[in-house]
Amino acid sequence: MLSGYMGYYVIVGAIALISGLVSSRLKSKFNHYSKLHLQNGMSGAEIATKMLEDNGIRDVKVISTPGMLTDHYNPRNKTVNLSEGVYNQRNAAAAAVAAHEVGHAVQHATAYSWLTMRSKLVPVVSIASKMSMWVIMGGVALMASMQFGQTIALIGLALYATSTLFSFITLPVEYDASNRALAWLENANMVTSNEYDGAKDALKWAARTYVVAALGSLATLLYFAMQILGRRR
């Protein structure tokens, strides 16, 4: 049984390594562009507030949240949550992140289809992500002695497929938010050309973390699909 999961451990290890490298690069980029101070002197919170106003959104609050790169938009209470390194800072990295999170608020306000689809999957994925691996491994273990083991494993595979689908739906949501952010920063003359290039580069590396996560999830799904379907009696 242990040797049967060797491929899984290799996949997990490879994903963890690549994810770590991309995350490290993202932090490096964020730190680099944090030194590129905005000529307009606006903080991340002020950038976010201005972008909300320009898009006619007045029911979303901009608040500070603890941690580094913990920025996110919460559609339930309509808040743009900016990390400590973004909320008060006045640099290209802070502007990029703040505008990106407001991009999600704009998606929400305009009922962006990919975001709507993603939101509908959240309740299912929250359950599937916790149960899928246990169901898959339990089913695979039972396949050697019980006929219904494969059925259980396939149920687990379907649950995991839901999480994989969610990770791929997240990609257009994140890229679109970045595109909205960069377009607004440029069109509203919030940044200079040099600051714009820095913001674009920072958001590019942020997006790559989601690409790695999606590809890693797909690789794991395909591995278990081959393991389960390859053991059919």
Q: Which residues are catalytic?
A: 101
CA distance 186 to 194: 11
Which regions of the chain does DSSP assign to beta strands (E)? 61-65, 72-74, 79-83
Select from 188, 23, 30 the least CA-distant residue to 96: 30
> What's the token pair of residue 232?
């059919």
Residues facing 230 on adjacent strands: none
Helix (H, G, I), strand (E, B) or coil at 233: coil
Alpha carbon 115 to chain centroid, angstroms? 12
CB 51 within 8 A of CB 99: yes
